[in-house]
Amino acid sequence: MTESDETPRRAVWIDRRDVVGLVGVGLLGYGAGLILPAAGFLVSGAVFTAVAVFGVRG
């Protein structure tokens, strides 16, 4: 066995889709905040609430 076969692999706990989703939520909230500051918080809160209620497919 080589050294690479003996060392355990680290689990990848973050996915590219997670990063893209978080960036998208941030940009959506920022864009809405440029139009109306309160709208930025409303949009971000609605998206995070939807994720909490419907869950993340995985």
Return per-residue pLDDT of the chain as tens, 58 residues: 555 566 666 766 777 877 888 888 888 889 998 999 999 889 888 888 888 787 766 5
| Burial per residue of 43-57, b for 16 or more beta-carbon CB atoms within 10 angstroms, e otherwise | bbeebeeeeeeeeee
pLDDT at 57: 63
pLDDT at 21: 80
